[in-house]
Chain A
């Protein structure tokens, strides 16, 4: 079980550790700066942090061991071809520039130093040298259907989920909001669309079931049963048992099927956690009660878990990377836009508050 957590927030990166008296914030890095995402590489302990300095752009930092942070290369879009014009869904020129780092994942166990990075406006990047340099995966960016990706809640498309198959590191599946699921089986040389069976009710009827029109909010894979994928989608919850090729919709999941994060137990593919919110424009907990929902039977039934979480006048939103699950599937952490951080040591049955005065939380990740 993990005793350490990295929490990325609007105003810094916080380390939270378990002591005999409970979980405590033990360190703050980049205080005052916008940390959109962080990664602790389980293969070597290296920490990565993505900062967004606003005027001065997105920057990546890295720390090895307990050492100091150092600025490293930032994933950079290639030079736009001379005279090339590409407009976004609003008719404005699509920036070929890293607007936000939205996914950071280690490569497979057999490829030390490989890091994957997803960005807004949709570029996927790979580093083979612990982030010292990055290369855009042109095969996906240049795919003709990529131009049909659109903004979801953000103005521009974003690649937010990256899944490296534990059986074969060349098999990578990514999730895009909006653009559905994309997979490679050859290390990124070629890509194909996945995700039949998902349904989007906010697009014209002829696009409702089109895989590219799906607004996937978060995608996870069960490491010990890697054909099992779960999706938290704008339109609800979907589950796949054939490697994300086809999905079934879960239509009843407690207070709401809308939300952003999903986590799946590492050894129990039928056990998954969600954080429900009122759908679409509102995006607040139902009846002001912050809860986590959990299924243990593949989505046939859900428990609503709120013990230790605020149960009245709670307007916390939990972003897609702000629900963390440790490697054993026992401990969870939940960070919210209103600065709350809670940890559960019993799979979500009960929660204890670490802080309710953090800056807005973007992401939480166990070491």
Chain B
């Protein structure tokens, strides 16, 4: 099953431990994460269920292309990194 790893910065808001979940697309993988951890959803996805503007997802080391639909295909041994873009303030 694909492995999902979350940015350390999200952990103080909502605990998102590394996990292995099923899914053939980024959307399916995340939905399976949210099924177990529903509070994480709004921290990662916006109101239209697209990836939040300053979040990024790396799939096997490459940025995903479909930030709105999250349709990028995930392999059985893939690693999905949910990161945030850097900013200060």
| A79 at interface by CB-CB < 8 Å | yes
Asked if residues A54 and B54 are in contact (CB atoms below 8 Å), the reply is yes
B47→A96 contact, CB < 8 A = yes
Tell me which residues across on chain A come within 8 A of B87, comparing CB atoms: 54-55
Contact: B48 with A56, CB < 8 Å?
A: no
Dominant SS among interface residues on chain A: loop
Residues of the B chain whose Cβ atoms lie less than 8 Å from the Cβ of A95: 46-48
Q: Does A45 contact B (CB under 8 A)?
A: no
Q: In angstroms, how far is the closest chain B Cβ from the Cβ of A30? A: 11
Q: Measured between C-beta atoms, what is the minimum distance from B14 to chain A in Å?
A: 8
Q: Shortest distance in angstroms between B12's beta carbon and chain A's nearest beta carbon? A: 10
Say whether B65 faces chain A, with CB atoms less than 8 Å apart. Answer: no
User: A34: which B residues are within 8 A, CB to CB?
Assistant: 89
Q: Kindly identify, within residues 48 to 89 of chain B, every residue whose CB is under 8 Å from any CB belonging to chain A.
A: 48-49, 52, 54-55, 84-85, 87, 89
Counting CB contacts under 8 A, is A71 at the interface? yes
Contact indicator A55/B52 (Cβ below 8 Å): yes
Shortest B69–chain A CB gap in Å is: 12
* Contact in complex: A79, B13 (CB < 8 Å): no
Task: Please state if B42 and A80 are interface contacts (CB–CB under 8 Å).
Answer: no
- B20 to chain A minimum Cβ distance, whole angstroms, is 23
Q: Is residue B22 contacting chain A, with contact meaning CB distance below 8 A?
A: no
Partner of B43, one of A57, A76, A79: A57
- State whether A71 touches B39 (Cβ < 8 A): yes
A57–B46 alpha-carbon span in the complex (Å): 8
Interface centre among A54, A79, A80 (most CB of B within 10 A): A54
CB distance B9 to A59 under 8 Å? no
Chain B residues with Cβ below 8 Å from A59 are: 13, 42
Q: Cβ of B10 < 8 Å from any Cβ of A?
A: yes
A246 within 8 A of B: no
Q: Is A53 an interface residue (CB 8 A)?
A: yes
CA–CA, A57 and B47, complex, Å: 10
What is the minimal beta-carbon distance from A74 to any residue of chain B, in angstroms? 6
Contacting pair A55 B48 (CB below 8 A)? no
Of all chain A residues, the one with the shortest Cβ separation from B9 is: A55
Which of A10, A57, A71, A77 is in CB contact (< 8 Å) with B48?
A77
Query: Nearest 7 pairs between A and B by C-beta?
Result: A97-B47, A55-B84, A77-B47, A56-B43, A55-B54, A97-B46, A76-B47
